[in-house]
Amino acid sequence: MTINSLDEESISLESSELEFIQKSYDQVQEIFERSCYDCHSNNTDIPIYGYMFPVNLYLQDHVSEGRESLNFSKWKSYSAKKRSTLAFEIVEEVEEDAMPPASYKLLHSKAIIDPETFQKIKRWQEEQERYYENSQK
Protein backbone atom coordinates (compact mmCIF):
# COMPACT_ATOMS: atom_id res chain seq x y z
CA MET A 1 0.00 0.00 0.00
CA THR A 2 1.36 3.38 -0.92
CA ILE A 3 1.44 6.29 1.42
CA ASN A 4 -1.08 7.99 -0.81
CA SER A 5 -3.72 5.33 -0.50
CA LEU A 6 -3.20 5.24 3.26
CA ASP A 7 -3.90 8.93 3.32
CA GLU A 8 -7.06 8.47 1.34
CA GLU A 9 -8.22 5.76 3.70
CA SER A 10 -7.82 7.90 6.77
CA ILE A 11 -9.58 10.80 5.07
CA SER A 12 -12.62 8.69 4.24
CA LEU A 13 -12.75 7.32 7.80
CA GLU A 14 -12.69 10.81 9.13
CA SER A 15 -15.43 12.03 6.86
CA SER A 16 -17.71 9.12 7.74
CA GLU A 17 -17.28 10.03 11.40
CA LEU A 18 -18.02 13.66 10.65
CA GLU A 19 -21.08 12.61 8.74
CA PHE A 20 -22.28 10.55 11.70
CA ILE A 21 -21.71 13.40 14.12
CA GLN A 22 -23.53 15.85 11.89
CA LYS A 23 -26.51 13.60 11.18
CA SER A 24 -27.03 12.52 14.75
CA TYR A 25 -26.50 16.02 16.09
CA ASP A 26 -29.12 17.37 13.68
CA GLN A 27 -31.76 15.43 15.65
CA VAL A 28 -31.05 17.21 18.92
CA GLN A 29 -29.49 20.52 18.00
CA GLU A 30 -32.74 22.47 18.27
CA ILE A 31 -33.45 21.04 21.72
CA PHE A 32 -30.04 21.96 23.03
CA GLU A 33 -30.19 25.38 21.41
CA ARG A 34 -33.44 26.09 23.17
CA SER A 35 -32.55 24.65 26.57
CA CYS A 36 -28.79 24.62 27.01
CA TYR A 37 -26.89 26.91 24.65
CA ASP A 38 -27.22 29.97 26.85
CA CYS A 39 -24.80 28.33 29.26
CA HIS A 40 -23.14 25.56 27.26
CA SER A 41 -22.03 27.18 24.01
CA ASN A 42 -19.95 30.04 22.73
CA ASN A 43 -22.96 31.87 21.43
CA THR A 44 -24.67 32.53 24.69
CA ASP A 45 -27.28 35.20 24.42
CA ILE A 46 -28.17 35.55 28.06
CA PRO A 47 -28.58 39.29 28.42
CA ILE A 48 -26.52 39.19 31.60
CA TYR A 49 -26.34 42.93 31.88
CA GLY A 50 -30.09 43.20 31.64
CA TYR A 51 -30.40 41.54 35.03
CA MET A 52 -30.03 43.23 38.37
CA PHE A 53 -27.34 42.37 40.88
CA PRO A 54 -27.01 39.62 42.15
CA VAL A 55 -28.86 37.74 39.40
CA ASN A 56 -26.36 38.98 36.81
CA LEU A 57 -23.43 37.71 38.87
CA TYR A 58 -25.13 34.37 39.33
CA LEU A 59 -25.74 34.01 35.59
CA GLN A 60 -22.22 35.04 34.69
CA ASP A 61 -20.82 32.34 36.97
CA HIS A 62 -23.16 29.78 35.51
CA VAL A 63 -22.24 30.53 31.93
CA SER A 64 -18.51 30.20 32.43
CA GLU A 65 -18.76 27.12 34.67
CA GLY A 66 -21.32 25.46 32.42
CA ARG A 67 -19.17 25.96 29.37
CA GLU A 68 -16.18 24.37 31.03
CA SER A 69 -17.91 21.06 31.60
CA LEU A 70 -19.82 20.98 28.32
CA ASN A 71 -19.55 23.23 25.29
CA PHE A 72 -21.88 22.34 22.43
CA SER A 73 -19.95 24.66 20.14
CA LYS A 74 -17.07 22.19 20.41
CA TRP A 75 -19.22 19.07 20.10
CA LYS A 76 -17.94 18.15 16.65
CA SER A 77 -14.35 18.23 17.81
CA TYR A 78 -14.91 15.93 20.81
CA SER A 79 -13.69 12.32 20.50
CA ALA A 80 -16.19 9.47 20.17
CA LYS A 81 -15.44 8.54 23.78
CA LYS A 82 -16.04 12.05 25.04
CA ARG A 83 -19.25 12.37 23.02
CA SER A 84 -20.52 9.11 24.44
CA THR A 85 -19.61 10.01 28.02
CA LEU A 86 -21.07 13.49 27.80
CA ALA A 87 -24.27 12.27 26.13
CA PHE A 88 -24.68 9.89 29.07
CA GLU A 89 -24.19 12.72 31.56
CA ILE A 90 -26.62 14.89 29.62
CA VAL A 91 -29.32 12.23 29.88
CA GLU A 92 -28.62 11.82 33.59
CA GLU A 93 -28.79 15.55 34.29
CA VAL A 94 -32.01 16.00 32.34
CA GLU A 95 -33.59 12.88 33.81
CA GLU A 96 -32.80 14.00 37.35
CA ASP A 97 -34.22 17.41 36.46
CA ALA A 98 -30.89 19.00 37.38
CA MET A 99 -30.43 20.56 33.92
CA PRO A 100 -31.44 23.09 32.84
CA PRO A 101 -31.19 24.54 36.37
CA ALA A 102 -34.54 25.25 38.03
CA SER A 103 -33.66 28.91 38.43
CA TYR A 104 -33.11 29.17 34.68
CA LYS A 105 -36.36 27.42 33.81
CA LEU A 106 -38.16 29.92 36.00
CA LEU A 107 -36.97 32.69 33.69
CA HIS A 108 -37.07 30.66 30.43
CA SER A 109 -40.07 28.35 30.25
CA LYS A 110 -39.13 27.40 26.66
CA ALA A 111 -36.13 25.56 28.11
CA ILE A 112 -38.30 23.01 29.92
CA ILE A 113 -37.85 19.51 28.47
CA ASP A 114 -41.03 17.46 28.11
CA PRO A 115 -41.06 13.62 28.19
CA GLU A 116 -41.25 13.32 24.40
CA THR A 117 -38.24 15.57 23.95
CA PHE A 118 -36.40 13.62 26.61
CA GLN A 119 -36.98 10.41 24.62
CA LYS A 120 -35.32 12.06 21.62
CA ILE A 121 -32.29 12.91 23.72
CA LYS A 122 -32.24 9.37 25.07
CA ARG A 123 -32.27 7.85 21.57
CA TRP A 124 -29.50 10.19 20.53
CA GLN A 125 -27.46 9.17 23.59
CA GLU A 126 -27.86 5.48 22.75
CA GLU A 127 -26.62 6.23 19.25
CA GLN A 128 -23.51 7.93 20.64
CA GLU A 129 -22.88 4.93 22.90
CA ARG A 130 -23.24 2.41 20.05
CA TYR A 131 -20.98 4.45 17.83
CA TYR A 132 -18.28 4.55 20.47
CA GLU A 133 -18.59 0.83 21.22
CA ASN A 134 -18.36 -0.04 17.53
CA SER A 135 -15.31 2.14 17.14
CA GLN A 136 -13.59 0.04 19.84
CA LYS A 137 -14.09 -3.25 17.98
Distance between CA atoms of residues 94 and 84, nearest Å: 16
Contact at 8 Å (CB) between 132 and 80?
Answer: yes
Please say which residue, 1 or 102, places its beta carbon nearer to ligand HEC: 102
Candidates 14, 19, 65, 133; binder of ligand HEC (CB under 6 A) is 65
Quick note: the x/- pattern for ligand HEC over 83-112, rule CB under 6 A, is: ------xx--xx----xxx--x--------
Please say which residue, 10 or 83, places its beta carbon nearer to ligand HEC: 83
Residue 40 is a binding residue for ligand HEC (CB under 6 A): yes
Q: Which residues lie closer than 8 Å to 40 by C-beta, 6 or more apart?
A: 32, 66, 67, 69, 70, 71, 72
Residue 38 is a binding residue for ligand HEC (CB under 6 A): yes
Distance between CA atoms of residues 9 and 43, nearest Å: 35
Give me the least distance between CB of 125 and ligand HEC, in Å please: 10
